[in-house]
């Protein structure tokens, strides 16, 4: 298990499932040679060494392991500030970083049956034993590629290409109807909404 502070979303009780487009954060794709990871981790105050298939976290910043030399960095700080910090402290190391903040959006899904809901379109075993807290991976939801992270027993985070966000929200909404579970869909900024307004909220965030 990767080390780091893990935040847990405050999920509803009972059958309610909350699907929420999260506020925008800086997102950077980091590719780095193994020899550079230790210093890059110290620069970002995270431990990347030996991590596989998990994310590491520090306060509001999170790094998702995507492959042997690839990470998705998510931060509440401005992308330019993170890039400048890496350029200053990691000069000469074998790494590359690209700002993809405008390419991805984040969708939170939480509730007692959130794993079962996601499994309507995702082939992974999302039981707590197979996909424990702190895990992250590339996978699919329906016809969309996603990056899936488990934040808690009943809480998941989906990073998806911006153009596929309305599709993902619609997919989860339709699946929740099939579960006979009440669902709430929020924009992450304007509070909780449902029905046609939920679609509008997702569309507004990608316009």
Cα distance between residue 54 and residue 47, in whole Å:
12
CATH topology of domain 17-23+103-206: Gyrase A; domain 2 (3.30.1360)
Query: In the block, which residue shows the tokens 């996601």?
Result: 118
Q: Could you tell me if 109 and 115 are in contact, meaning their C-beta atoms sit under 8 angstroms apart?
A: no
- pLDDT, tens digit (0-9, with 9 covering 90-100), for 107-117: 999 998 999 99
- Read off the DSSP letter of residue 135: B
pLDDT of residue 181: 55
CATH domain 26-99 topology: Alpha-Beta Plaits (3.30.70)
Q: Which residue has the tokens 């009780």?
A: 13
Helix extents (H) in 56-194: 79-89, 114-118, 165-178
Q: Domain residues of the chain, as ranges?
A: 17-23+103-206, 26-99
Residue 176 main-chain phi, psi, to 5 deg? -65, -30
Q: What order of strands is seen across the sheet that includes strand 55-58?
A: 55-58, 61-67, 70-75, 26-32, 95-99
Q: What does pLDDT average to over the chain?
A: 83
pTM, entire model? 0.82
Read off the pLDDT of each residue in 171-191 and give the average, rounded to a whole number: 66
């Amino acid at each position: 298990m990767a080390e780091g502070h893990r935040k847990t979303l405050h999920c509803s009780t009972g059958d309610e499932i909350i699907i929420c487009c999260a506020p925008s954060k800086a997102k950077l794709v980091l590719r780095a040679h193994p020899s550079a990871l230790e210093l890059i981790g110290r620069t970002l105050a995270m431990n990347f060494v030996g991590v596989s298939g998990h994310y590491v976290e520090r306060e509001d910043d999170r790094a998702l392991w995507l492959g042997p030399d690839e990470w998705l960095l998510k931060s509440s700080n401005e992308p330019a500030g993170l890039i400048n910090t890496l350029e200053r402290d990691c000069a000469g190391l074998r790494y590359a970083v690209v700002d993809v903040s405008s390419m991805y959006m984040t969708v939170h899904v939480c509730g007692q049956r959130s794993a079962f809901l996601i499994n309507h379109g995702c082939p992974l075993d999302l039981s707590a034993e197979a996909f424990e807290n702190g895990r992250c991976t590339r996978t699919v939801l329906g016809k969309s590629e996603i990056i899936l992270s488990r934040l808690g027993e009943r809480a998941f985070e989906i990073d998806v290409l911006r153009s596929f966000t309305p599709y993902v929200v619609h997919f989860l909404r339709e699946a929740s109807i099939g579960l006979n579970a009440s669902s709430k869909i929020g924009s992450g900024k304007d509070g909780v909404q449902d029905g046609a307004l939920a679609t509008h909220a997702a569309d507004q965030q990608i316009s």
